[in-house]
Structure 1
């Protein structure tokens, strides 16, 4: 077993992050195929650790990857790493959000550069045409659109709490009598857009579905005539803004809620430069305007964790077969490695 693939799934340190990169049933599939899989204890993970032990995983204390993980092992996670150690020497697999100029990207890449480690960013896990092979897009779109509808109906409470899909659906179906809401989903045919469309359909909200054809020559008056905007685009290059601050003051504006699923705030790729910081579970809504009518934005960057079990299982089902190819020189992982090397190579002395 000396040449076996070794994976170490770490505890997620971010508050409210209950998702897992691997569900227990997929952990078992990997173990049955000869993978040595170590799983850290985690009180907040949606799947109890005994399910991973039953699947044949070795269980270790949370955070122990820092001092006990062998150098040849891949460290698997979802969201950001803790601030320590300052030098990252392992090969890490997680959503680094480090290639679009996001806040914190440069320091993270410097840590890998200094420690000799590697980031195989799950954002770069794509096929030859650039399509994501494992993503939380559907869950993000579903949760983002659901929150926007619930807020518009006055049913959104804070702080937010995770739920099951069935419980969220039951709340979405509580439409007030005589309600006539309209929504527009931009990026409607990607994973996030389809998820948003499913949530709006469950809520009984009429939805316009826009994609590149509609945004190439954007009908801003038509956009402002909807009650809800859900932004679910995926882009690797800057696009013309869908909304500007001047649009927010348009007296004809009916739009009252923005659900920004993409949440590229702080990046040159941000298509909604009308707010300057993401919202969170404690304060999910930020008011942008009070007149001519209230306009609020919901921009949470870990939306799928609101549906942790369902979104984790869907993501894990996509990911586990790809993990089996880590040591085979797979083009999929080579693309991740190339993206990392390109990003580190672009660092300057600043």
Structure 2
């Protein structure tokens, strides 16, 4: 076995991001097996720095990863700051840069001059292409929960982090209209299962669609629901599930779309009815006014609203993989290949950079 990796867990620069890719309990397991871990100060993180110290981790000031030794893997979740312009480390996080998203080419260009690399967590997969660590269940759960609360007139902004017990109490305390109808697309996946569980908690038995139903999509049936929760993640363009013309359909019942996937600027977007995500400050955007309004929830860090539960679940899946970072023939090699392919495609001038 090769030498153990050295990890540097960075502070998340996004305001309100309280999750951690590695929780203290799992950090202790890695340290016990010889992994050196440095954890940056991050007052907003849901897990105190003292717990990481107790786990055997070193500490560093927020943002100091830029000066970390080059042999460290820099571990995070969401986007990097705009500086430095050149990235020299191997970064592990959700880069959102391989499917032509806005800013993808610029991000990839930051890695190439000085030998840096992106090991995108979305592309950390097994031999069958299944993701080995994901926040999907909790993304679906929160996305559906917010949809229910908004549909019942009870969603308050700005959003604040909760725990599951508090969120479930809000869902259970609301009365479900007898004819309230919700559709989950991608119901058999992680996110879809989470969405269905949240709807059941709220007293709704959802309609569940997956590959078979979307292969020959019944658009009339889709529009005959109050709430649509989309949890489908695709890596290639497919016919859209919903279009702007559908929102203008005189027979539309659909009044709320919760897009958990948020592939908004990608050519793989299955809901091309909006061009900008929503956020914690303004979680809902109106797409159609009038007697039959249509609203959108499209928040790209939904699990952050349940930071403790979602972090623990994700970390439990990720930490065994982190032990293998320096080993040959692992999922990390596939993640590196995905990065190299994206860089090669980008260098040819293509708009596809994910």
The interval holding the TM-score normalised by the smaller chain is over 0.9
Q: Does 1:250 align with 2:249?
A: yes
Call closer, same or farther: CA 1:123–1:167 in 2, change over 3 Å: same
Distance 2:234 2:264 in 1: 13
Q: Which residue of 1 aligns with 2:86?
A: 87
Q: Does 1:57 align with 2:45?
A: no
Contact 2:27-2:37 within 8 A present in 1 as well: yes
Distance 1:245 1:71 in 2: 48
**CA drift at 1:279:** 0.5
Q: TM-score, normalization: structure 2?
A: 0.96
Query: Which residues of structure 2 form unaligned runs of 5+?
Result: 350-354
**CA drift at 1:349:** 6.8
Distance 1:135 1:49 in 2: 23
Q: Which residue of 2 aligns with 1:117?
A: 116
Distance 1:176 1:57 in 2: 47
Q: Does 1:22 align with 2:22?
A: yes
Distance 1:269 1:19 in 2: 27
Q: Which residue of 1 aligns with 2:190?
A: 191
Deviations 1:116-172 (A, max 9, x none): 101100010011111111000001000000000000000001111110000000001
Distance 2:262 2:176 in 1: 32
**CA drift at 1:292:** 4.5
**CA drift at 1:3:** 4.3
Contact 2:186-2:209 within 8 A present in 1 as well: yes
Contact 1:86-1:111 within 8 A present in 2 as well: yes
Q: Which residue of 1 aligns with 2:352?
A: none
Contact 1:249-1:292 within 8 A present in 2 as well: no
Q: TM-score, normalization: structure 1?
A: 0.97
Q: Does 1:344 align with 2:343?
A: yes
Q: What RMSD, in angstroms, separates the aligned Cα atoms of the two structures?
A: 1.2
**CA drift at 1:235:** 1.1
Contact 1:145-1:199 within 8 A present in 2 as well: yes
**CA drift at 1:29:** 0.3
Q: Which residue of 2 aligns with 1:98?
A: 97
**CA drift at 1:180:** 2.8
Call closer, same or farther: CA 1:195–1:178 in 2, change over 3 Å: closer
Contact 2:4-2:323 within 8 A present in 1 as well: no
- Could you list the runs of 4 or more consecutive aligned residues of structure 1 that deviate by over 6 angstroms after TM superposition? none
Distance 1:217 1:178 in 2: 30
Call closer, same or farther: CA 1:210–1:131 in 2, change over 3 Å: same
Q: Which residue of 1 aligns with 2:66?
A: 66
Question: Which secondary structure state, in structure 1, belongs to the residue aligned with residue 113 of structure 2?
Answer: helix
Q: Which residue of 1 aligns with 2:130?
A: 131
Q: Does 1:298 align with 2:311?
A: no
- Of the structure 1 ranges 223-232 and 326-335, higher mean CA displacement relative to structure 2 is found in 326-335
Question: Which secondary structure state, in structure 2, belongs to the residue aligned with residue 115 of structure 1?
Answer: coil
Across the two proteins, how many residue pairs are aligned to each other? 348
Deviations 1:159-209 (A, max 9, x none): 111100000000011232654311000000000000000100000012000
**CA drift at 1:328:** 1.0
Distance 2:341 2:26 in 1: 32
Contact 2:176-2:202 within 8 A present in 1 as well: no
Higher relative contact order (CA 8 A, sep 6+): 2
Q: Which residue of 1 aligns with 2:326?
A: 327
Distance 1:281 1:132 in 2: 27
Q: Which residue of 2 aligns with 1:237?
A: 236
Q: Which residue of 2 aligns with 1:181?
A: 180
Question: Which secondary structure state, in structure 1, belongs to the residue aligned with residue 110 of structure 2?
Answer: helix
Q: Which residue of 1 aligns with 2:48?
A: 48
Contact 1:231-1:261 within 8 A present in 2 as well: yes
Q: Which residue of 2 aligns with 1:13?
A: 13
Question: Which secondary structure state, in structure 2, belongs to the residue aligned with residue 59 of structure 1?
Answer: strand
Contact 1:248-1:289 within 8 A present in 2 as well: yes
